[in-house]
Every structure is written in structure tokens, then in C-alpha cells.
Amino acid sequence: MILYVEGQDDKEEELNANLPSLVQEQEVKKQKLDAKQSFTQPPPRYTEASLVKALEEKGIGRPSTYSPTITTILERRYIEKIQKQLSPTELGRIVNNLLIENFSDIINVEFTAKMENEFDQIAEGNENWKHTIRTFYTPFEKVVEKVEKELEHVELVEEVSDVPCEKCGKMMVIKYGKYGKFLACPGYPECKNAKPLVETIEVPCPKCGAKVQIRKTKKKRNYYICENNPKSCDYISWNKPKPGEKWEEPEEKPELEETKKKTKTKRKTTAKKKTSVKGRKK
């Protein structure tokens, strides 16, 4: 699906921009001065709503297919939603380019709209479905066969993390799952190690200076927690720590079942308690 169509220069505008024929010494009067600076702006990214509108206008899909289409390309990580805007991922760009290069006959707006039209004709009994499908499928099958052979050489470069696999020592790679990013061992299937990807922020822990991780509650709300929590630090906050922030115990802390329990047990040991008090600078 080509979602971004490049615009063409307006030919008419170009012709009108030509200078009128003038003779030497001819006095030219100023008619109108319009000071205007214009920048070429890229078209805004589609939101779900504007994409549905564009699909409607171009005659692609049917109201019942709009939502599943967007869900599918989101789930397959071809696009991601950034503050309501739909943005292509690296994978999405690669797949899109491969499709356009190899299936230009069918990966285009006109074909899709034409096909929808033919389906309507079949539904209304004006067209024989076997004939329609055969006309499409016979050449399509050949292209698929050809491309499948060529595609064996295409390899998606996996993003390597800085986390070594604790089972086999290989550097783990970042994969995309149903619930977002996670770390997987590249030694698969020999090593099946996989674990959640822990994202850390630049700003150090306001209590102990260690790294602060971004995590999500079950309700998908972000919170910030020191990597030493619950070992030697109990920093945890809803708000992202600011650089040089002076730590004050907040009234409302994220209530997390596991962390709460663990913190309680740890606090019983004197050694840990000391570090925690020191960290608070009292």
C-alpha cells in the first residue's frame, strides 16, 4: 500500500510564471508587492482518522476493513503510533520498498480500487468470480515464485542490545512482540533465553546515582525505578527525575505488588537500611 504519494510540480503555474515580453527602456509599474516566504512542508503524518478518510477517498477497502487493516500493520510493526500519528518503522519501510519494487502492478492505489470494484461486480452477480480470480492469480503466482527466490538473500538486521545473555554470553537482540519490545538471545533455537527489555533514562537516580529504568504498570502507566531497587535503593516515582533533582519523599508512590513486598523484606536487614538512610542524606 502506497500511503505517501509525491506531488508533481504544477505545469500551469510554471507557464504563468514566465516573464511577459518587454521592450528596451520600457517603464514597468509595480502592480502589487506580496512579501511572502514559503517553505516546502512535508504532508502531516496520517492519524488513524485521517488515514481512514484517505482510504475512503481513494476507494480502498470498505468500512469493515479500515480498522482491521490499521490494527494489522500496527501489530506487524510496519507502523507505530507516536502521539496519535502513524509513522512507518524501519521494518515497514523495508517491506514497503520490497513490495513496490516487486509488485508494482498490484501494490498501488488504482489496482486496489479496481479490485474492490470487481468484487462489487461479483457480489452483484455481474461478474464470474472464477474468471476474476484467475485473471489476477495466474500472473501473480509467477511473480510470487520469482520474488520468493530472490528474497532469500534479504536479511533484516537485528538491533543488538548492550545486554549479554546470561545463559550463553551472546549479546541479546531487540525483538518486537505483541506487548512491545523485548530481548531475545540470537542463539535461538539452541538458547531460548528471552526477557523484557529494560529501558533506562539519561538522568541518574536522585538517591544513589545509579541508572533509572522506565517500567510500566499493568495498566500501562509509566513509572521510574532505580536499578538498585529493591537491593540497596528504594527510589521509585511516577515522575521522570530531573537532572540535579533533590530527592523528596513523594506523597504518592507507585504501588507495585512485587516491589512493595521485596522492599519490605529487604528493609529488615540492617546493612540495607544503612545504605538507604545514607542515600537520603539525612
Map grid coordinates 461479483 to a residue: 122
236 makes contact with Zn ion (CB under 5 A)? no
Q: Of 60, 173, 208, 236, which one interacts with Zn ion (CB under 5 A)?
A: 208
- Reading the block at residue 138, the C-alpha cell is 495466474
Does position 185 interact with Zn ion (CB under 5 A)? The reply is: yes
Query: Per rule CB under 5 A, is residue 198 in the interface with Zn ion?
Result: no
Nearest-approach distance from CB 232 to Zn ion, in angstroms:
8
Least distance to Zn ion from the beta carbon of 166, Å? 8
Q: Is 233 in the site for Zn ion (CB under 5 A)?
A: yes
If binding is defined by CB under 5 A, does position 207 make contact with Zn ion?
yes
Rule CB under 5 A: choose which of 77, 99, 102, 187 binds Zn ion: 187
Candidates 64-72, 108-116, 199-207, 254-262; binding stretch for Zn ion (CB under 5 A): 199-207
Q: Give yes or no for residue 45 binding Zn ion (CB under 5 A).
A: no
> CB of residue 176 vs Zn ion: minimum separation in angstroms?
19
Candidates 51, 70, 73, 226: give the one binding Zn ion (CB under 5 A). Answer: 226
Which of 54, 143, 144, 191 touches Zn ion by CB under 5 A? 191
Would you say 99 or 194 has its CB closer to Zn ion? 194
Position among 55, 183, 184, 205 found at the interface with Zn ion (CB under 5 A): 205
| Residue 272 interacting with Zn ion (CB under 5 A) | no
- Between CA 96 and CA 103, with CA 102 as vertex, the angle to 5 degrees is 80
Residue with cell 515522575: 239
Task: Report if residue 183 touches Zn ion, rule: CB under 5 A.
Answer: no
- Using CB under 5 A, which residues numbered 131 to 170 contact Zn ion? 165, 167-168
Regarding 235 and contact with Zn ion (CB under 5 A), the answer is yes
Cβ neighbours of residue 261 closer than 8 Å, sequence gap 6 or more: none
Applying CB under 5 A, the residues found at the interface with Zn ion are 165, 167-168, 185, 187, 191, 193, 205, 207-208, 210, 226, 228, 233, 235
